[in-house]
Amino acid sequence: MSYKNILRRLVFLVMVIWVAATIVFFIPRISSRNPVRERFAALARTGGFSPGDLETIIASYNTKFGLDKPLMEQYTDYLGSLARFDLGISMNQFPKTTSELIMEALPWTIGLLFVTTILSFIIGNLLGAMAAWPKTPDWLRNIATSFVLLQGVPPVLMGLLLIFFIGFRANLLPISGAHSIGVVPEFTLKFLLDVGKHQILPALALIFGSVGGWVLSMRGMGVTIQGEDYVLFAEHKGLGNSAIFKNYFLRNAMLPQVTGFALALGNLVVSAIVVEEIFGLPGLGTLLSKSIRVNDFLVIYGIVLFITIAIATLMVLVELLYPLLDPRISLEN
């Protein structure tokens, strides 16, 4: 792959980030609502603010967050801040910045997403390949095919079902929180095991909610691959079933799935955010939900933009790595 093609895709990534940042900036400002006024008006209803004090506070916060400037000047300042990786200051948790809040929540989201994404992709594609492989035992093919039924159950509903049946009725696993109440967060085996125990149900919700789609798509690809010349040639050469399945059938059927993996990242990230809120995990999903409830608009914008940039970056990385998986694909053109 030439540096010219790499540069072209990096420029495309920058353009995607700029478009996303522009949309995130302008859409909320189309509305006539003032988030600062709404935030402090809600506080004023609880008492302790006189009308004069309220207007003074609102004016000072408008100045602090630059909301009193002309729109295009706000937009210019906004792009300059993004170039410095400055996503603004939280109104609800002042003086913490949006970047600090995201970095505090990000490890929980990455840990959950990384494990569930890899496991669902591997399990789903392996089951789908076995469901399509004609020499798979009938009992194993039936088990693999049954996972297709999970495709109709979204991760959010799957999480609620797991909470009710496994957490509430059977009382086998904790249903909320990142760790047990009273446990001091520290880097010890006991704490890590406690955290892992609390992650099982949300991880299962995401895995069961997405594995069915991988099984279905991989089964369709596997049925197509069966009649290809290279599979038939391998059979006529007398290769063993396991060698044909691994090196000719599974390997070639997996290639389109890698592209599907990049496209599915967006839905998986959104599902993970909602699942985090359901299970009370201190990740980006819970932070976003809390920010929406208190109208902490800079944190909301920052999280949405961060997720957009992350997904766009991952899709570009998958595109750059794809020729390494399939030598027939060239990015030189």
pLDDT tens for each residue of 95-134 = 778 888 888 888 888 888 888 888 888 888 888 888 877 7
Q: 327 falls in which pLDDT band (50, 70, 90)?
A: low
Q: Which of 21-25, 39-43, 62-66, 201-205 has the highest mean pLDDT?
A: 201-205
| Per-residue pLDDT tens over the stretch 11-36 | 888 888 888 888 877 877 776 666 66
Q: What is the pLDDT of residue 33?
A: 63
Q: How many residues does this entry show for the chain?
A: 333
Residue ranges covered by each domain of the chain: 102-295
- Is the full-model pTM beyond 0.75? no
Query: For residue 1, what pLDDT is reported?
Result: 55
Q: Which CATH architecture has domain 102-295?
A: Orthogonal Bundle (1.10)
Report residue 72's pLDDT band, with 50, 70 and 90 as the boundaries.
confident
pLDDT of residue 218: 81
pLDDT of residue 330 exceeding 60, the answer is: no
Task: Indicate whether 88 pLDDT > 70.
Answer: yes
